Structure 1
Amino acid sequence: MPEQPPRSHDFDAEYAATDVGRTTFPFTWRDSDDGLGVVVEGHCPRCHGRTRREIRRIVPGTGTKGAPSVPSWLRLRRNPEAATDQAMDQEVLLAERYFCACGHPHPNRPSDGHAGRVGCGASWVLGALARIGAR
């Protein structure tokens, strides 16, 4: 059974680039609003803040200029509702590395951090992932 995160965000947790390994906190995934990607949501296993990441699908054969050539990005499928496509998407999402995006500027955060990325510095891989809003 997945561990439940505490009810409150630890705003005082100092920034630290920390790999916390495989989290047992529950995360969910769903199609993005435009259907061109998926959204993974849950709580950071370090600061317990709510975090969200959208992963865009790429269309095979159209090139990836300007987009990271990450082999684990989801491919746009002709039938995203198919159970086999959902299972493949979930497998890809479980292999992906996630970073805290809680939105809080934790104490001692480096000033040269990436613009728009605010969090405690934790990274992790998912131990469990539940699909929500399946068609």
Structure 2
Amino acid sequence: MTESRTAAHDAELPYAETSLGELSLALAQHIASDGRTLSVSGVCPRCAGPTVSEYAYGLPGIGTKAPWPFRDRRAEDSPDVVGSEVHFCECGHPHPSMPPDAAFIGCGASWRVRTAETGDTPS
């Protein structure tokens, strides 16, 4: 039996607003069953914590033309949020030195994805 090895979440890594640039990562993209949001999940490349970001349809920057409910959400017409947005660590752990007004609870890392595996199935 083969065991998958992944880095453990480094919860003690100090918070630092750090742009990691463009990376080749595998992130999953899922449309919510109600069609209102799209979530992107994966592992933060800085702290190795699991991270999930939600994007609402109809907001600038996510490639949609009309807000819910005026548009039918199907996998074939979902925007490529994985490849088009800046992603932030949202591991949910308040890393040491994280400011109280931080926009996201995580290690402070941000990155873009150069290539990604996406799964556009409803979650």
Give the TM bin, normalised by the shorter chain. 0.7 to 0.9
Q: Is the 8 A contact 1:10 1:47 kept in 2?
A: yes
Q: 2:84 aligns with which of 85, 95, 102?
A: 95
1:111 and 2:104 matched = no
Determine what percentage of the aligned residue pairs are the same residue.
34
Structure 1 runs of 4+ aligned residues shifted over 2 Å read: 4-7, 69-83, 111-114
C-alpha root-mean-square deviation of aligned residues, in Å? Answer: 2.4
Q: Is the 8 A contact 1:56 1:74 kept in 2?
A: no
Deviations 1:8-37 (A, max 9, x none): 101111100000112222100111132112
Task: Summarize the alignment of residues 1-135 of structure 1 with structure 2, pairs less than 5 Å apart.
Answer: 6-58=6-58, 70-76=60-66, 78-81=71-74, 83=76, 85-86=77-78, 89-90=79-80, 92-114=81-103, 117-127=104-114, 128-133=116-121
Q: Is the 8 A contact 1:97 1:123 kept in 2?
A: yes
SS at match of 2:91: coil
Q: Structure 1-normalised TM-score?
A: 0.72
Q: Structure 2-normalised TM-score?
A: 0.78
